[in-house]
Amino acid sequence: MRKLIAGNWKMNGTAADLGELRTLAQQHPDPSVDIVICGPATLLSRMAETGLMIGGEDCHPAASGAHTGDISAPMLADAGASHVITGHSERRSDHGEDDALIAAKTQAAWAADLHVILCIGESEAQYRAGKTLDVLRRQLDHSVPDGATAATTTIAYEPIWAIGTGLTPTPQEIADVHSALRAHLTARFGEDGAQMRLLYGGSVKASNAADIFALDHVDGALVGGASLKAADFSPIITALEQAR
């Protein structure tokens, strides 16, 4: 699998910001890694016009119906998305999403031919209590549906306490978590688990990207704040392209 670098614009972005994507597309015309920008539904079709791969930030588990304000996976695909994030910690906390719902959303995304970037991550309290791996294995077991393949699914490890805080685990901690995730996925999904991409997310920036991308079983990143401006995101993309 090619490495994958994904931006997550969260609840940011209006038409005035599309120039950042046009710049990014010009800076990386023939990337050696997959570049995906996940953005607000209101912008997706215009984001897709830049030629970059585009993703939604969430989807409903149903394909259509009486769900005011929600967006379905086929709608994202129709707007030009090829990817979608499920299980982001901000969805889990802001909207009370549990693992079963995230699994249902993931299956809905697969049914619409969207590649899923499924997020897991421990809270600061769980981290301090030494429960990180227990939490992550439970999230993998209950939010990743049977039948996940490396072609349809990417896992993003995002420690909640590292999101938007400027804090990150140490490189050794990231390496230990990613190798435990790899072992767990391989035990369940065999060769697909061995090949499934594992992204790190949480305060990734140009100054720490190369160190993170040098770690075993880190196949890319999910980037929030530093994906909003081409000047910040481009060097992170370059760091992934240059990683061994």
Q: Is 58 a residue that touches ligand 13P (CB under 6 A)?
A: no
Q: Is 116 a residue that touches ligand 13P (CB under 6 A)?
A: no
User: Any known ligand binding at 12?
Assistant: no
Residues 157-186, mask of contacts with ligand 13P (x by CB under 6 A)? -x----xx----------------------
* Cβ(89)–Cβ(96) below 8 Å: no
- Which C-beta is closer to ligand 13P: that of 8 or that of 107? 8
**Exposed/middle/buried for residue 82 (C-beta within 10 Å: 0-12, 13-18, 19+):** middle
- From the CB of 51, what's the least distance to ligand 13P, in Å? 23
| b (16+ CB within 10 A) / e for 39-75 | bbbebbebbbebebbbbbbbbbbeeeeeeeeebbbbb
Tokens linked to 138: 């439970």
Q: Which of residues 10-39 bind ligand 13P (CB under 6 A)?
A: none
Select from 60-68, 76-84, 179-187, 196-204 the region that touches ligand 13P (CB under 6 A): 196-204
- Is 158 among the residues known to form the active site? yes
User: Any known ligand binding at 225?
Assistant: yes
* Cβ(143)–Cβ(103) below 8 Å: yes
User: Any known ligand binding at 9?
Assistant: yes
Q: Is 139 a residue that touches ligand 13P (CB under 6 A)?
A: no
Select from 13-21, 143-151, 185-193, 221-229 the region that touches ligand 13P (CB under 6 A): 221-229
CA distance 177 to 193: 15
Q: Is 86 a residue that touches ligand 13P (CB under 6 A)?
A: no
* Cβ(25)–Cβ(45) below 8 Å: no
Handedness of CA 143, 163, 174, 149 (dihedral sign): positive
Tokens linked to 72: 């379905």
Q: Is 203 a residue that touches ligand 13P (CB under 6 A)?
A: yes
Q: Is 223 a residue that touches ligand 13P (CB under 6 A)?
A: yes
- CB atoms under 10 Å from CB of 28, counted, come to 19
- From the CB of 228, what's the least distance to ligand 13P, in Å? 9
- Is 60 among the residues known to form the active site? no
Taking each continuous run of H as one helix and of E as one strand, the counts in the chain are 11, 8
* One residue of 81, 103, 222, 239 binding ligand 13P per CB under 6 A: 222
- From the CB of 164, what's the least distance to ligand 13P, in Å? 4
Side-chain-side CA neighbours of 112 within 13 Å: the count stands at: 30
- Which C-beta is closer to ligand 13P: that of 74 or that of 143? 143
Catalytic residues: 88, 158
Q: Cite the annotated binding site by residue number.
A: 8-10, 164, 203, 224-225
Which segments are annotated as binding site for substrate?
8-10, 164, 203, 224-225
